[in-house]
Homo-oligomer: A and B are copies of this chain.
Amino acid sequence: MEPLVAKPNLAGHLRACGVTPTQQRLIISELLFDKRQHLSAEQILRKVAHRDASVSRATVYNTLNLFVDKKLIKALIINKSKVFYDTNVSNHHHVYNVDTGELVDVCADHVVISALPPLPSGIELEGADVVIRVRQAPVA
């Protein structure tokens, strides 16, 4: 098994974003940034346990909130029951299957937001999230 010590670039990445690279944050980073994916806090907790390592529940939540704050990941509020964290921070949207819970990325090019009413002064755009909800077609 690969050592739990993270690759140097991960630590550098965290530091570059103003995050002190602690052991726990590196473990979580390794799991997260392995690939583009959508994970819940619970899933991350389980993955940590799977790797023999151990990070407390509170630390997982604290870390995820910190990463969202520092824009290392995006929080997706799609399902009323839990938040998903997206390692793809580029501009994109989602297709969500309400029956299976499956979540798929959609390139932002496929979505055009036009003629948005002008924002009042003092208000600035933070982002636009598009969730396309789909379901299993009834067997008819």
Contacts and interface: CB of A to CB of B under 8 A. Distances in A.
Nearest to A131: B129
Interface stretch (A2-10, A11-19, A50-58, A110-118): A110-118
Number of identical protomers: 2
Main secondary structure of the interface of A (DSSP, over half): strand
A98 B126 CA distance: 9
B115 A125 contact: no
B124 A137 contact: yes
Nearest to A126: B133
A97 B123 contact: yes
Interface in A96-140: 97-98, 106, 109-117, 119, 121-137
Going nearest first, the 9 A-B pairs with the smallest beta carbon separation are A126-B133, A124-B137, A110-B115, A112-B112, A128-B132, A129-B131, A126-B135, A123-B134, A130-B130
Interface of A: 75, 77-80, 83, 97-98, 106, 109-117, 119, 121-137
